[in-house]
Structure 1
Amino acid sequence: MNYYDEVTAFLGNWGRFQKILFFILCASVIPNGLGVLSVVFIVDNPKHHCSIPDVNLTEDWLQAIIPIEVSCIFAIVSAFFAFILVYLHVVLWSKDLKGHRLTWLRTDHPDWDYFGLSDQWKQPFTSTIYFVGVLVGSFFCGQLSDRFGRKPVFFITLGIQTLFTFLQVFSTSWEMYSVLMFFSGLGQIANYASAFVLGAEVFCGNVQTVYTTAGVCLGFSTGYMLLPLFAYFIRQWRFLVLAIALPGAVVIPLWWITPESPRWLLSQGRVEEAEAIIKKAADMNKVKAPSVIFKNYKVDHGNPRQYTVIDLYRNREMRLPSIILPLTW
């Protein structure tokens, strides 16, 4: 048992304070899961037939002559008879599509994501842009939370994710949507990492283990599972994006009841603030706190050393885990 766990043992592991914070942090990562796969439902070409007003065919004949494709032009030139029948329609082709009855099709679909045959790369590339944002965010979120605190970074990155997801509602082009997705991904990973670290530092004992291995992951998975449900009932894409953004906006007001990490405050020499949080937690758990909690804690008022990610590889005990974990992710 380390120093912090020992002096805060009087709180217990699962009081009212821990229960409320556990729920808040797990719920806060639900928007992370909602946004990750949103591109599947927003930027997608639903399978369709080209609309050929002059040809009145049954469904079976239509499928045989003009197969369902993601590109109208490709479908036409891929069938010889269809090419003869609708040669003039190829020249005058427009975005007049007929959705197949077995294919999901929103009542309102972004005009800019009906990609032609030469633009099919844009669909997977949109996901790549999102995860490039995730990669960029993962580089600096740890350094920011070490410098400014877990709580500020947690809520600021949640705000970034929520804001840029909301702005996707006003997307008028694929380029605009992709840029907004980049910043959504950046905020997503930084928010998730901050929530993970904040809970890991506040909780102790078995609760800490459950939170870091299951709790925060279940919150993220809940977002995964809610996204298809949202997409099934919300067929207009702008309202779907709005539904993805709103849960983050609901979490932001929880700033006033979410504490800073006492461990981080101690590392910064802010002992009084750390004790105030522990005493408030003791009141919530209905236990009596000592008048001085961190009485043997020594504050270094000199110039403390600033650690970086390089120090993980300098330490013999941390070197191997620091190599293995990025590879597993």
Structure 2
Amino acid sequence: MGDYDEDIAFLGQTGPYFWTTFFLLNTVFVSTGFNGLYMVFVGAAPKHHCLIPDVNLTEQWRNAIIPFTIVDGEEVLSQCSRYRLDVVRNLSTEGFIPGKDVNLTNLEQEGCVDGWSYSKELYQSNIVTEWDLVCDNQWKVPFASSTLFVGYLIGSLISGQLSDRCGRKKVIFISLGAQCISVLLQSFSHSWRMFCIMFLFVGASQISIYISAFVLGMTEIL
């Protein structure tokens, strides 16, 4: 029977090969961290309200066309409705003053049929402002985030099988290439659907990199 101490003597050795493998694999892991975080920024909804088109309105009516609503006990401008534009335009043309000649609470409201106006105080542009993912479409933001995790599920199921068949090094480099291409295409997405599809591939390639590199690192070091 062999000596136990001699059999495990190779464990814990930290030579040049160990540190080279350690840093290279950790460099790979760094690339997998950003994709799960940047959705916080690209999916953030800035302050917004219904767009007021360039029509003949007095300054008073232009400031009053967005109704106020109560949110968490605080009175704020509505983000998803406005007073009907044709009614407000007629009242403005006739010279009525909002709040003085007209009781605003009695005016009919409508949705943001002309789109939204977004504050650029924090974000110049993101997927919310580009594709109007607010109000009735605000569910599309968490759905887009979920596609990343669906990609994790798919990638975790197939990466192990591919690694056993083709080798983990090949899977890592192929997944790195797939991740780079997916992220690049996602940044040029022309629709919400394309963004979600690319996010699916990003998640699948990202988890494939992580799992394959982790197992490779353990086997190489041991």
What amino acid sits opposite 2:219 in the alignment?
A: E
The equivalent of 1:72 in structure 2 is 80
More strand by share: 2
What amino acid sits opposite 2:32 in the alignment?
A: N
Give the superposition deviation at 1:51. 5.2
What amino acid sits opposite 1:24 in the alignment?
A: L
**CA shift digits 1:32-54 (9 cap, x unpaired):** 11001322222332232445564
Contact 1:49 1:66 (C-alpha < 8 Å) held by counterparts? no
**CA shift digits 1:65-88 (9 cap, x unpaired):** 97256x432x779xxx8x938968
The equivalent of 2:141 in structure 1 is 123
Give the superposition deviation at 1:177. 0.4
The answer to whether residue 197 in structure 2 is matched with residue 179 in structure 1 is yes
Contact 1:50 1:97 (C-alpha < 8 Å) held by counterparts? yes
* Partner-residue secondary structure (3-state), 2:133: coil
**CA shift digits 1:73-129 (9 cap, x unpaired):** 2x779xxx8x9389688467423414285xx3x123345432242222211111111
Q: 1 CA distance for matches of 2:153 and 2:119?
A: 37
Give the superposition deviation at 1:148. 1.0
More helix by share: 1
Aligned in 2, Cα 1:28/1:156: closer, same or farther, shift over 3 Å?
same
When Rg is computed on C-alpha atoms for both structures, the one with the higher figure is: 2
Q: 2 CA distance for matches of 1:55 and 1:90?
A: 15
Give the superposition deviation at 1:25. 0.5
The equivalent of 2:220 in structure 1 is 202
* Partner-residue secondary structure (3-state), 2:76: coil
Aligned in 2, Cα 1:153/1:50: closer, same or farther, shift over 3 Å?
same
Aligned in 2, Cα 1:33/1:12: closer, same or farther, shift over 3 Å?
closer
Q: 2 CA distance for matches of 1:157 and 1:186?
A: 8
Contact 1:29 1:192 (C-alpha < 8 Å) held by counterparts? yes
Aligned in 2, Cα 1:7/1:38: closer, same or farther, shift over 3 Å?
same
* Partner-residue secondary structure (3-state), 2:115: coil
Among all aligned residue pairs of Structure 1 and Structure 2, give the percentage whose two residues are the same amino acid.
34
TM-score, with structure 2 as normaliser: 0.70
How many residue pairs were aligned?
Answer: 190
Contact 1:45 1:114 (C-alpha < 8 Å) held by counterparts? no
* Partner-residue secondary structure (3-state), 1:115: coil
Give the superposition deviation at 1:188. 0.8
